[in-house]
């Protein structure tokens, strides 16, 4: 790569060489058979760490409803609660593409509502794109947002915002139901979504969808054949002390490390070992 190359041009040596991830880089990854990565992030420090580690896309997920705010589902979080998290992540990301979820109740009423909400996240939150849980019947919402010049990821399969309508956290797309996942994905692609995320669908279904689409796919509990993979960072790094889904691989035990570190701090303060002379002015 020459010194004059722009980030947009820096694709010759693969995604890892791109200085600033854009939607077309993700499309090129699929065409080249290359995989890309996504992790959730809700604050400046984790976003900065993940960005430096080479994460390609950061998702300011409505999962913050549970992981940050302590709710039992993604439903309660609001636009005003998610906006400052989005601003913090966008401020930290120097390379990664930043996507934010449109929270439940912020886009379903009409295309106009969907565009207003998405515009807020772009203008006030600094996001690079938005993610919408949708199907064939609501693909027009994604289309409206896309027409406003906002990149859209369509989310199909299990959609957490519809957990009550779906009867809880249940695998989608088994057997004959695989056709619905495919139809929903194709409808969102036709509506202009630049990427499709599939959650909790059988690997065979996800593979069929990925092969049928020209746009890249992201999987979470959707097997290994999607273009990209996403995990909630607290699950992947072992901060979550509760039960995690089958599709989660834990890459660290941050919960254990943090509990031990804080236990040591408590003991040092109580014993007078901290602050020591080297910590004193």
Residues tagged active-site: 199
- Return the exposure string of 17-43: e unless at least 16 CB atoms fall within 10 Å of the residue's CB, then b: ebeebbbebbbbbbeeebbbbbbbbbe
Three-state SS annotation for 195-244: EEEEECCCHHHHHHHHHHCCCCEEEECCCCCCCEEEECHHHHCCCCCCCC
What does DSSP assign to residue 176? G
| Tokens at 106, concatenated | 């912020």
SS3 assignment for 20-39: CCCHHHHHHHHHHCCCEEEE
Closest CA to 209 of 221, 225, 220, 194: 225
Question: Which residues make beta-bridge pairs with 219?
Answer: 198, 229
**Residue 19 exposure: Cα atoms within 13 Å on the Cβ side:** 10
Closest CA to 184 of 225, 221, 142: 142
- Greatest extent of the chain over all pairs of C-alpha atoms, in Å: 71
């Amino acid at each position: 790569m020459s010194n004059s190359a722009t980030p947009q041009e820096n694709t010759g040596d693969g995604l890892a060489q791109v200085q600033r991830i854009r939607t077309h880089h993700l499309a090129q990854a699929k065409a080249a058979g290359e995989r890309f990565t996504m992790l959730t992030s809700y604050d400046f420090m984790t976003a900065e760490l993940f960005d430096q580690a080479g994460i390609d896309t950061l998702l300011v997920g409505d999962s913050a409803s549970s992981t940050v705010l302590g709710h039992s589902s993604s439903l309660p979080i609001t636009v005003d609660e998610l906006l400052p998290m989005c601003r913090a992540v966008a401020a930290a990301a120097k390379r990664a593409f930043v996507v934010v979820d449109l929270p439940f109740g912020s886009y379903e009423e009409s295309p106009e509502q969907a565009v207003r909400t998405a515009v807020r996240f772009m203008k006030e939150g600094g996001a690079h794109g938005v993610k919408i849980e949708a199907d064939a019947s609501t693909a027009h919402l994604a289309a409206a947002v896309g027409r406003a010049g906002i990149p859209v990821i369509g989310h199909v399969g299990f959609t957490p915002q519809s957990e009550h309508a779906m009867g809880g956290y249940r695998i989608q797309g088994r057997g004959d139901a695989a056709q619905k996942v495919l139809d929903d994905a194709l409808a969102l692609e036709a509506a202009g979504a630049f990427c499709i995320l599939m959650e909790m669908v059988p690997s065979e279904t996800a593979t069929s969808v990925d092969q049928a689409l020209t746009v890249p796919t992201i999987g979470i509990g959707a097997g290994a054949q999607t273009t990209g993979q996403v995990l909630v960072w607290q699950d992947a790094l072992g901060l979550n002390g509760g039960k995690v889904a089958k599709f989660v691989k834990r890459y660290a035990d941050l919960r254990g490390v943090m509990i031990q570190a804080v236990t040591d701090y408590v003991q040092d303060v109580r014993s007078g070992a901290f602050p020591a002379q080297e910590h004193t002015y």
